[in-house]
Amino acid sequence: MVKKYIGSNPFDWVGDETSLALGTALYDLMGQAAGVPVYSLFGQRRRAWVPTASWTVSTHPRRMAQAVEEHSRRGFTWMKFHLSPFENIFEPMDAMQAVAPDGFKIHLDFTMGGSSDHMLELLERLSAYRIMGCFEDPLREDDVQGYAELRKRARLPIVYHHTPLGATQEVLLRAADAYMLGHARIGTVMQRAGLFAAANVPFMTQNVGGEITRSMVTHMQAAFPTSDFPFVKSSERWKTDVVKERREPVNGFIRVPEGPGLGVTLDRDALKRAAALRLPEQPKWIIKSQFKNGAKMYNLGDTKDPLFMVRPDCRRLIPMSYASPIATEYWDDDGSAAFKQMMVRLERERMVLER
């Protein structure tokens, strides 16, 4: 893919639809060459500060509360996470609400359903929480009509991410209150931004990455008319980065850089260190769950199959619910005979359910 860019003029790639990563780099080049911030290459600046959200993963209620405390302390007013049927959603909601400051909101991602819940009833119960902010992908991605009906009946905003028609006909059918473009190429975002503006529908761009990515998204969110939904990028989870700047939000907003290009400075020493890093090997573990009636469930945890943690239905084992009276802990290899025996059973049976 790099060969397509070598020898070309950066301005040949306005509205790049080839590579999000290289397109981002070229917009930085274009902005520096023209002496303007990147948002100027998209149009007039609509907002000097753009709303942003933090991100975490579903886990024990105590740790969910700690995440709210940490992110609110760092200046965030929104936090997104994917629900997991291995935790009863109401227990972490209670824990988070107990520590959340006024105005702090939760963005729940249902990862396109994946449970046996009656979704309207579940959303109605969740809407009663003062910290509840919005619901992302609560239905199967291809159920456009279902989204349109759910939007009419739900009290809080419905966010549509995995749209089957690329956020085109779904917008015309008023299927959601807001849209999310995940890792969309720059030209695609520009095209959809016009459609969203015509329909007066909010949207956000979710490009997960570090400060370079966050800066690019900030510029895009600053320029498009309705791109005012809190965007997610997860750079707050990074311990270190490859640029010298690190912008923290103030009351949930990120200041738009005003210097030429993206407004970040590459730290080449940090880049070399990052390039040399290697991920540690994470051995398989056991997902150990217990229902309030005493029943126990064991599943195999594997980093090569991360979707299972939020969509256990992908293994076609049993139907699960986000509202089940269930609690889960991780059982790492402790060298015990019990662990070895359960691993053998899981390799053979795929899941163990017992009294």
User: Each residue of 232-290: pLDDT tens digit?
Assistant: 999 898 889 999 998 899 999 999 999 999 999 999 999 999 999 998 889 999 999 99
Close Cβ partners of 150 (under 8 Å, ≥ 6 residues apart) = 119, 120, 123, 138, 139, 158
pLDDT given at position 79: 98
pLDDT beneath 70, residues of the chain: none
Label residues 292-328 b or e (16+ Cβ within 10 Å = b).
eeeeebbbbbeeeeeebbbbbbeeeeeebebbbebbb
Q: Which residue has the tokens 């311990």?
A: 239
Ordered structural domains, the chain, with CATH = 39-272 (3.20.20.120), 285-354 (no CATH)
Q: Are 319 and 115 in contact (CB under 8 A)?
A: yes
Cβ neighbors of 11 (< 8 A, separation 6 or more) are 30
Residues 92, 95, 100, 104, Cα dihedral to 10°: 20
- CB 350 within 8 Å of CB 111: no
Bridge partners (DSSP) of residue 54 are: 79
**Which residues are within 8 A (CB) of 340 and not within 5 positions of it... i.e. 6 or more apart?**
none
Enumerate long-range contacts of 167-172, CB under 8 Å, 24 or more apart: 167/192, 167/195, 167/196, 167/203, 168/192, 168/195, 169/144, 170/144, 171/195, 171/196, 171/199, 171/201, 172/199
**Partners of 182 in beta bridges:** 206
| Angle (deg, nearest 10), helices 186-199 and 20-34 | 80
Distance of CA 40 to the CA centre of its chain: 27
65 with 98: CB under 8 angstroms?
yes
- Provide DSSP, 180-240: EEES--HHHHHHHHHHHHHHT--EEEE---SHHHHHHHHHHHHHSTT--SPEE--GGG-S-
pLDDT at 279: 85
pTM of this structure: 0.95
